[in-house]
């Protein structure tokens, strides 16, 4: 259970001077918002709140989280009690007088930690979906304590001795492949995290982990503070170029912040991106761009530069204790890439084509910019705006026209259709209130097998942006599928930050956002399709887990989805054939921008983690690294260092952001398997192999072996180049 618990814990983010007197970027005070938090409590209330957080889940569907009852006041004592219970379970295994076996050691460990895991489910909601100043204070207090707790397990010498004994025993040879994989992952989890150290080195390893937990938490909270605190308020005469849906969302956001009659552009990607795409106010675009890309880099109490330097230095010191030359070498050892050199080789094979495409894109944009607006250079805050003009010029494709056919609810129905065709899943919304939710925007569906009607699990959807919710989109589970100790069905969740449509109107999103919607649903399907026996086997391999979700994006552009679910929000008429043709013709449009901004982040991440970071200056390192790569001036990293939460608010993606591209090679290659099959993207035979070999096995099979079982060979990087419209040579 410790891996599941650690994962849950790790996942639990410039003030610009105004140019006109009517425009201002305002720093706002964050209001407290939490799940049933009381201001005045007594000890009895605390004990009751603690008991609720620890309690086994009641109700239908094998029990569900009590989101409607839990309170922050019980969180600290519940975590402390959960840790105490878990350590007692671990000590019982470690001190057993029986000879170590698979059942009494490895399987016994899989049965531990459920009390604490239930508390972490609520922790995750308070951290990501319903954050507040009160929770952040608790988070900062508990982060080092939780790190110390995990170190006690990872560094338990008696426990590791038993795990090591099983790992080296003849018993393993008689176990099933799935059980052998479990033994390997359990042993490797200890060996790679300080269990083999002794004395001062072991203590220092644990101390570093505690300090990193504090820094990761502070980094993420600093980013979230900058996202919440700075808002650009506009008046009616500053809305040039903005579409009806953007204006409506901005008006709603302003009213929520007590600025009725104005229009708020918030400091999140879902607000920034459309504004930069459509606003004709170049000076305002620059302000919005600067606010967004300077998150965590404003020289104030929320500045992350010093935190980055300390994180990198501590990570480097820690892996030095284990004998690795750099952090990335340690991190990638058990990934598909195996080494930073292999990951860098992949990225550098794509980089030249990406930046060459950027040169072409900038030339096209500058031609329009000079002719229409007299500009002499495409600045970063111009890229989206003029790219949209080029799109219209080259393909006669208007993104806002496409948006009229992309209704959030209809897209959800389309995802259900795809899940039905590929996985035989059926989704039925639960409307009777039997499943509690943590916010009124959250809806829940039961997932069953279409043929047998067998219950598979629940799917929670939290789609809209709000205060206290971290930016971006993500998927998670509240309970994973297992069978080793009685069958447990899945509780999965998708979370997004779409700007809610005004009352009575559907929420319309961009094509890119629709791809993200499908992407995150791909993660949910990966959870729901699991057929593994043990909890640890539901863990992921970072440069592989994005593959399944990226693959699902391809179904958005299939004829079945376009013809049946992409209908105009006013007329209800399906998307015209000529518009569909334009979308498909423009499928590789702007790939220079998309690929370069991503790869820049991935390469800087890898460079951060392959150098000696002593005395490192994050901003200078970022600039120097990008200059050495000949980074185009009109583009910046998708995630600049000071708000790169993937790698600095935890360790999930640290030196592993490349994993999206590694997975995209698999994605493009697998998509060609469907495209070239008799049934296309709904081919039954290919779909069956997909579910059997790539979704249901989770981490019970080595990812490289799993992909070969599906495709009959390794993935070919040329498929990625073809997918992005980049030139493919025999030397690739």
Which residue of the set 34, 388, 520, 651 is catalytic? 520
Query: How do 425-429 and 455-464 pair as beta strands?
Result: unpaired
Q: Are 154 and 190 in contact (CB under 8 A)?
A: yes
325 to 200, 313, 651: CA distances (angstroms): 20, 13, 18
**């982990």: which residue's tokens?**
209
Pick the closest to residue 337 from 695, 3, 693, 656 (CA basis): 656
Q: Confirm whether 578 is a catalytic residue.
A: no
CB atoms within 10 A of CB 174: 10
10 to 7, 230, 463, 493: CA distances (angstroms): 5, 26, 22, 17
d(CA 472, CA 494): 11
d(CA 568, CA 78): 49
The b-or-e profile of 494-510 (16+ CB within 10 A means b, else e) is bbbbbbbbeeeebbbbb
d(CA 145, CA 155): 15
DSSP state of 25: E
Q: Are 5 and 212 in contact (CB under 8 A)?
A: no
Label residue 377 exposed, middle or buried (CB < 10 Å: 0-12, 13-18, 19+): exposed
**């990501």: which residue's tokens?**
128
- The span from the first CA to the last CA of the chain, in angstroms, equals 43
Q: Are 495 and 398 in contact (CB under 8 A)?
A: no
d(CA 434, CA 436): 6
CB atoms within 10 A of CB 21: 6
Label residue 257 exposed, middle or buried (CB < 10 Å: 0-12, 13-18, 19+): middle
Active site residue ranges = 520
């Amino acid at each position: 259970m410790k891996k599941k618990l650690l994962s849950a814990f790790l996942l639990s983010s410039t003030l610009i001077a105004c140019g006109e007197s009517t425009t201002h970027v305002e720093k706002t005070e964050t209001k407290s918002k939490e799940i049933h938090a009381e201001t005045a409590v007594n000890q009895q209330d605390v004990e009751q709140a603690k008991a609720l957080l620890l309690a086994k889940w009641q109700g239908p569907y094998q029990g569900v989280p009590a989101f409607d009852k839990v309170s922050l006041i019980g969180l600290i004592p519940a975590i402390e009690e959960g840790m105490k219970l878990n350590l007692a379970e671990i000590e019982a295994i470690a001190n057993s007088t029986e000879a170590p076996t698979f059942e009494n050691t490895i399987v016994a460990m899989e049965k531990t930690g459920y009390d604490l895991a239930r508390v972490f489910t609520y922790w995750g909601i308070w951290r990501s979906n319903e954050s507040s100043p009160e929770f952040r204070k608790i988070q900062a207090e508990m982060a080092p304590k939780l790190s110390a707790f995990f170190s006690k397990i990872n560094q338990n010498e008696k426990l590791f001795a038993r795990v090591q004994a099983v790992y080296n025993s003849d018993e393993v040879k008689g176990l099933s492949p799935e059980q052998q994989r479990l033994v390997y992952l359990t042993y490797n989890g200890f060996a790679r995290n300080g269990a083999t150290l002794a004395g001062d080195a072991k203590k220092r390893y644990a101390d570093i982990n505690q300090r990193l937990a504090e820094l990761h938490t502070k980094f993420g909270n600093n980013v979230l503070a900058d996202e919440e605190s700075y808002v650009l308020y506009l008046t009616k005469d500053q809305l040039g170029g903005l579409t009806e849906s953007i204006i409506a969302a901005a008006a709603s956001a302003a009213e929520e912040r007590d600025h009725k009659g104005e229009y708020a552009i918030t400091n999140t990607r879902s607000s920034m991106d459309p504004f930069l795409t459509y606003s004709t106010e170049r000076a305002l675009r620059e302000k919005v761009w600067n606010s967004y890309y300077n998150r965590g880099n404003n020289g104030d109490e929320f500045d992350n530069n010093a935190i980055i330097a300390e994180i990198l230095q501590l990570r480097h010191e820690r892996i030095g204790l284990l004998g690795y030359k750099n952090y990335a070498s340690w991190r990638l050892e058990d990934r598909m890439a195996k080494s930073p050199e292999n990951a860098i080789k992949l990225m550098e094979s794509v980089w030249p084509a990406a930046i060459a495409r950027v040169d072409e894109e900038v030339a096209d944009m500058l031609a329009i910019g000079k002719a229409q607006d007299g500009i002499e250079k495409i600045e970063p805050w111009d890229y989206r705006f003029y790219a949209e003009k080029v799109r219209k010029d080259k393909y006669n494709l208007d993104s806002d026209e496409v948006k009229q056919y992309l209704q959030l609810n209809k897209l959800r129905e389309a995802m259900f259709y795809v899940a039905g065709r590929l996985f035989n899943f059926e989704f039925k919304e639960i409307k009777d209130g039997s499943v509690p939710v943590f916010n009124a925007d959250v809806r829940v569906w039961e997932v069953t097998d279409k043929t047998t009607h067998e219950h598979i699990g629940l799917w929670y959807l939290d789609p809209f942006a709000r205060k206290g919710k971290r930016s971006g989109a993500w998927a998670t589970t509240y309970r994973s599928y297992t069978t080793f100790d009685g069958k447990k069905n899945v509780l999965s969740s998708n979370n997004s930050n779409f700007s809610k449509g005004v009352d009575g109107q559907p929420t319309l999103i961009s094509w890119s956002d629709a791809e993200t919607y499908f992407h995150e649903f791909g993660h949910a399907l990966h959870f729901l399709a699991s057929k593994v026996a043990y909890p640890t086997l539901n863990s992921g391999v970072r440069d592989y887990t994005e593959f399944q979700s990226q693959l699902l994006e391809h179904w958005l552009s299939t004829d079945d989805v376009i013809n049946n679910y992409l209908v105009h929000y006013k007329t209800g008429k399906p998307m015209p054939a000529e518009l569909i043709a334009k979308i498909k013709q423009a499928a590789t449009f702007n790939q220079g921008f998309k690929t370069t901004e991503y790869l820049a982040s991935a390469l800087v991440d890898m460079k951060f983690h392959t150098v000696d970071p002593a005395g490192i200056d994050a901003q200078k390192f970022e600039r120097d690294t990008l200059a050495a790569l000949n980074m185009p001036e009109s583009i910046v990293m998708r995630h600049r260092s000071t708000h790169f939460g993937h790698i600095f608010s935890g360790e999930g993606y640290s030196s592993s952001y490349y994993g999206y591209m590694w997975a995209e090679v698999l994605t493009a290659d697998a998509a060609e398997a469907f495209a070239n099959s008799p049934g296309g993207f709904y081919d039954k035979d290919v779909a069956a192999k997909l579910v059997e070999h790539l979704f249901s096995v989770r981490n019970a099979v080595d990812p490289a072996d799993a992909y070969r079982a599906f495709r009959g060979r390794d993935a070919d990087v040329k498929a990625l180049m073809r997918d992005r419209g980049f030139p493919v040579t025999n030397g690739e």
